[in-house]
Structure 1
């Protein structure tokens, strides 16, 4: 019986120590060399826009009994800036300017910061207090960067290695720090592109517009411009991105020319030139019509020879995407009927 009595006393002592450990506030986040018991998780890089609002996805883990969150005790949670006493919940904020919208009992500390200002670029520590424990996430403060200018929108996919006849979905997307005021996206493609706001894997938001394009040679060198307009207190802030399409295509508009033009003297030098519009640049092959079929007579952009008899010639431009033939050009010798 003595052993059992001693064991009960030890268990009571441990329980008392645990209560002191949480209620003291020093258990949170490993501050002061204590074990980490309260840790928040937020996106690694958070950028806010001066004059807008900022929604910060946030969750946390804390080493306390689960039923401490389930019994209905009143739990207070506030963000405390680093220049205040981070162990004193009265030094924190939870109002219209800094509002914890997540359900703390579900370990969701998602927060909306309204009317962001440059001076808010500091560290914030989450403090939670209820009748069972008190804790501050000292080892994992919340910190974000405040910018005066919005980030440029992104145009995807990479538009540098495209081919004609290819169908591609072009997306313009912009980071959306404030879900209540998403940016307005416009571009020089179809203006009826549907705008939608999506949640990223880290809980942040992105607003995007999309357009499907079937590419042709006319799209090569075309500049796509996308603009994002962010409503902020006092006006609008705008950023823009421009990318140039690079589209490969088969030869087109192939033509042949002769110099000198008109009738030529027998034995005189004649130069035939071939031109075509293609990407990548084409290879040129020259053919002569004959009664035995078309004969390959030369390779290259220019075909030069001494004309001893008349004939009909044409060139073919070829690249990896296709070929295109010129119209026939006639070499006529003087005195020949």
Structure 2
């Protein structure tokens, strides 16, 4: 409870209850009228119920140990009135009598249990006669003051006098000093150089004591003297209590060392104070937690981490400790794996895996693909700068510290890429017979799986789609150069391999399907053979002269001849012998590398004898150009031939 007086107003407050008197001292003449004023306050609720003021009154004495309402006191009958509203109440007394001199107090009563209050000390009324000039008064601002040793304190009072003041001073009726007369503190050696009296205006006096000592604890009063009288402030003044300042509180955390999640922790606020202080615990940026000297945290959680401090407060002062930090340790409780970018992952792009974990201290991370460890350390990020199909698979991370570990769920990385170089195969792999079933198969490594389209060379439109191109009944027009195209949404890739597929046919089929180009080739071959025969005869007639001709005078061949062990010319054959000749089917390619399959074998079919020429069998063979090899410098008249000739060994069946 504290007491405050300002401008002759006495304010008494306690837990929301209070009465303020203004003024607190009145000196009035007999027969006059006086008005005493006060205001009052009370809590809005008591024990959870709304507070209502039910009765108010003024009194000076008690009856049957209860305050007696002035309106019921026979001594004031017909002379008192109350004027109360909005927590203000005034008492008007008319026709004052000297017996009315007393201390007047105000009481209000509420509907709550224990909700009655009396404002003290009240208003001191002095009634004097017309010839009495000694109506002086002294009012102190504070009834009690507590201060710390070494600090300074100000003690205030106001005073009034109806006579000329001859002297005024502060004194202390200390029990250890038996003065005959009140001694001015300024003249007291105990307060030498530590006491000042300040009076900024008439009727207001301030006693200032600096560098307080424990021995300064005492009651301080003010004395007023006039020519005709001496007035002291009455039975009480301001009581000063000097205490040693409480030491700054400190916080002790028990047990010492690391604080592990789910354990208990005790924080103790340590200080020295007199009187014993009240303690309050706070967590930074949060409201108070406890009013005890110890704060116990049972089964601490991660949310309990933070800065704590305590305050110690008594009537003298409130002191606050420094922050004490609680850091709750725990193992990883989560491990979340994420990937960036979050959309489709394309071959060659940069992919970053991030592992986040809640742990204290921070976790170390182990990166794994399947059961294979990729990386270990403090890095929570695993980066693949240029991802490839080989990086496809399931990844997860493991977070761990000295208090535990936690594995994330697996994350599957699916790497998308355009089709690789397609490979092409033909089935059956051997000779292909007309009318047989032929499967051309194209395969390519791609993600997502590729779609396949088949093309035939020199044709713009595709001939088929799908991984397998099937010709159910192969015919001559199916022969040719094929390639496949593999495509997905990431790109397209064509096979570089060319297939040349030819069918084996029988004699009657071949004769019926001989193209004009093949006939031209046969005629050219016959023409070249006859021309070569002519040159051989001419060379045999020229003899040695032809052999001695300078090499530089010979015509240089444009193309190396191909020799195939032709027999020398013999006697002329009969018509029947000529009809047994075998013709050669020739097909030219740019290079041997262009040919995968060339299924040409002699057909052995026979036809029934209708004509003599149809009884003969014709064999076809594929002739490929090649360069004959011979020793360097070897030259013979018997082997020199025109370089523009192609020869093929033709054997009768």
Q: In structure 1, how many angstroms separate the alpha carbons of the residues matched to 2:8 and 2:491? A: 89
Structure 2 residue 388 is the aligned partner of structure 1 residue 216: yes
Q: In structure 1, how many angstroms separate the alpha carbons of the residues matched to 2:455 and 2:344? A: 33
Shift, 1:281, TM fit: 1.8
Structure 2 residue 353 is the aligned partner of structure 1 residue 170: yes
CA 1:329–1:76 in 2, change beyond 3 Å: closer, same or farther?
farther
Q: In structure 2, how many angstroms separate the alpha carbons of the residues matched to 1:90 and 1:231? A: 34
Residue aligned with 1:187, SS = strand
Consecutive unaligned residues in structure 2, runs of 5 or more: 18-47, 50-257, 262-278, 320-327, 506-599, 601-621, 623-653
Structure 2 residue 261 is the aligned partner of structure 1 residue 91: no
Q: TM-score, with normalisation over the residues of structure 1?
A: 0.52
Q: In structure 1, how many angstroms separate the alpha carbons of the residues matched to 2:456 and 2:259? A: 71
CA 1:332–1:253 in 2, change beyond 3 Å: closer, same or farther?
same
Residue aligned with 1:252, SS = coil
Q: How does 1:230-245 map to 2 (within 5 A)?
A: 230-232=401-403, 237-241=404-408, 242-245=410-413
Q: How does 1:55-134 map to 2 (within 5 A)?
A: 77=281, 87-93=290-296, 119-120=299-300, 129=311, 131=313
Instruction: Give the match for residue 318 of structure 1.
Output: 487
Consecutive unaligned residues in structure 1, runs of 5 or more: 19-31, 34-50, 55-74, 80-84, 99-116, 135-144, 197-207
Instruction: Give the match for residue 155 of structure 1.
Output: 337
Instruction: Give the match for residue 457 of structure 2.
Output: 289
Residue aligned with 1:218, SS = helix
Residue aligned with 2:362, SS = coil
Shift, 1:53, TM fit: 4.3
Bigger radius of gyration = 2
CA 1:122–1:185 in 2, change beyond 3 Å: closer, same or farther?
closer
Asked if the contact 1:184–1:230 (Cα under 8 Å) also holds between the matched residues in 2, the reply is yes
Asked if the contact 2:281–2:290 (Cα under 8 Å) also holds between the matched residues in 1, the reply is no
Structure holding more strand per residue: 1
Q: CA RMSD in A?
A: 4.5
Instruction: Give the match for residue 182 of structure 1.
Output: 362
Residue aligned with 2:462, SS = strand
Q: In structure 2, how many angstroms separate the alpha carbons of the residues matched to 1:218 and 1:175? A: 32
Instruction: Give the match for residue 474 of structure 2.
Output: 307
Asked if the contact 1:167–1:213 (Cα under 8 Å) also holds between the matched residues in 2, the reply is yes
Residue aligned with 2:434, SS = coil
Shift, 1:182, TM fit: 2.2
Shift, 1:195, TM fit: 2.9
CA 1:315–1:15 in 2, change beyond 3 Å: closer, same or farther?
farther
Q: In structure 2, how many angstroms separate the alpha carbons of the residues matched to 1:184 and 1:314? A: 54
Q: Which has the higher contact order (CA 8 A, sep 6+)?
A: 1
